[in-house]
Structure 1
């Protein structure tokens, strides 16, 4: 099964060409791949990088190791992710300081969504588009956080700390193999995520046309349960993102792919933060 994250779904990051091959042996991040069968960066007809200089073979048909400086490393992923998140924080700071209105914030969110879709359907990473997405997403997050902070003081900081805790916890669970990203795990998360988004859309329609709180998924006990489910889904997506990054590093993905990894991780962290912010606001409102 392809990755749930749209920026990875068009890539061959997963073993067995990105399909249900998550049960294969799992090398440590950055370690050598086990054999060449199922390696999306080896030379074969389904390899998206088969025609570039990183996917060459010697005279016996064996894959040639790409130049050391041309492949993605974990340091590359960390650096690009830090840069992308830094732009998000910068945009959020600008929106907070200028007290950006919700109308402009919604406009920024729409622009970020369009930029995200453009990058998701491109065959190659485009750092300017990724950074622009991060900037507009940051403007939206800063404005909505400022709005919630006026209603529930301190909620944004609690949401940030909660997001960091979720990230650290899931990273530990993944690295210790307590959480294993298998084909069954992926199918479960995808079904749950689709159901979650459908219920969210239905609730929004009821809010728009029926008024009030719609089906009650964003307040009271039902809102708390829905928020917890949203955070859990975000954490599961993090595990899937970790898996994609680990496979990309192990199989020597081109270095430019680290921008796609940063983009995917940023989108997942934004999701977790928004769900955490809503959850904190509901819990504080019930006190």
Structure 2
């Protein structure tokens, strides 16, 4: 998968394999004595087991009552079985985004200069959470806090140069998320192995481009945003937004596979973390792209 949160998971995107099978072969019940047996002679008391055992009738009645109770009992829900549901993913994703937005707003007004700290801490926690086999709610929540510090500070910096850019980036991110979800749910875009391979290759190429551009800017070979400015910057920004949207669709497919496979409910934290990572990336790309458009006006 494109998102390391899902691609490194043992439960998302892969069919579950049963580790053990139920063993043991039951023995056939002993045949009951019935109408084919010889009747007792006159004056002789019937022996237990003849004409149907008295205890067998009681057992059959008890079994029938148990089956009736089982039939009338309510079906087990996902809450009872502790399996992943879409509601779990929605609630936890909403919670992480709420934490991120609150921390971002506080950072914007109180300490926007802390964004480099949030960026570094968020990167470290992002890598740790992405490669953990079992999700840690505490570390995932701390990641949301760190990203809130980063996004709050960097958004304040962009807003000081470009009016209304933050609101525009938020709306564009929400619209892209809704469009990606619609395309996935409607079946207009299907996640196939070919689609996934194409996305991985494209994302590796984009990452290589970003690293080269960063080195050229840091070494002074290129000024300003380097190759992320001007017409080329617009093209790269549009490609990056497209990659992030495609990554969202793959994330949706991974979550769908996890729900259908009945993975444990605790992996809702992994799904929420993966979606948050992609949404943060998408927001940053829109922020850069809108800044280029406004600087060219």
Task: Provide the TM-score with structure 1 as the length reference.
Answer: 0.81
| Residues in 1 aligned to 2:111 and 2:157: alpha-carbon distance in whole angstroms | 9
1:151 shift after superposition: 0.3
Q: Which of 77, 83, 91 is the equivalent residue of 2:95? A: 83
**RMSD of aligned alpha carbons:** 2.0
1:94 shift after superposition: 1.1
Q: Which of 129, 133, 136 is the equivalent residue of 1:126? A: 136
Match of 2:203 in 1: 193
1:69 shift after superposition: 3.9
Q: Which 4+ stretches in 1 moved above 3 angstroms?
A: 12-15, 57-61, 65-69, 211-216
| Residues in 1 aligned to 2:251 and 2:130: alpha-carbon distance in whole angstroms | 15
Match of 1:143 in 2: 153
| Residues in 2 aligned to 1:75 and 1:66: alpha-carbon distance in whole angstroms | 10
Which runs of 5 or more structure 2 residues have no equivalent in the other structure?
Answer: 26-76
List per-residue Cα deviations over 1:4-53 (Å, max 9, x = no partner): 211212323455xx3xxxxxxxxxxxxxxxxxxxx31x413xxxxx7xxx
Match of 1:254 in 2: 264
| Residues in 2 aligned to 1:66 and 1:161: alpha-carbon distance in whole angstroms | 34
| Residues in 1 aligned to 2:165 and 2:274: alpha-carbon distance in whole angstroms | 25
Count of matched residue pairs: 246
1:183 shift after superposition: 0.4
Which runs of 5 or more structure 1 residues have no equivalent in the other structure?
Answer: 19-38, 45-49, 51-56
> CA contact under 8 A between 1:99 and 1:146: conserved in structure 2?
no
1:283 aligns with 2:293: yes
Counterparts of residues 15-30 of structure 1 (less than 5 Å): 18=14
Match of 1:68 in 2: 80
Q: State the structure with more CA Rg.
A: 2
1:4 aligns with 2:2: yes
Match of 2:238 in 1: 228
Counterparts of residues 257-272 of structure 1 (less than 5 Å): 257-272=267-282
CA spacing shift, 1:60–1:285, aligned 2, 3 Å: farther
| Residues in 2 aligned to 1:229 and 1:117: alpha-carbon distance in whole angstroms | 24
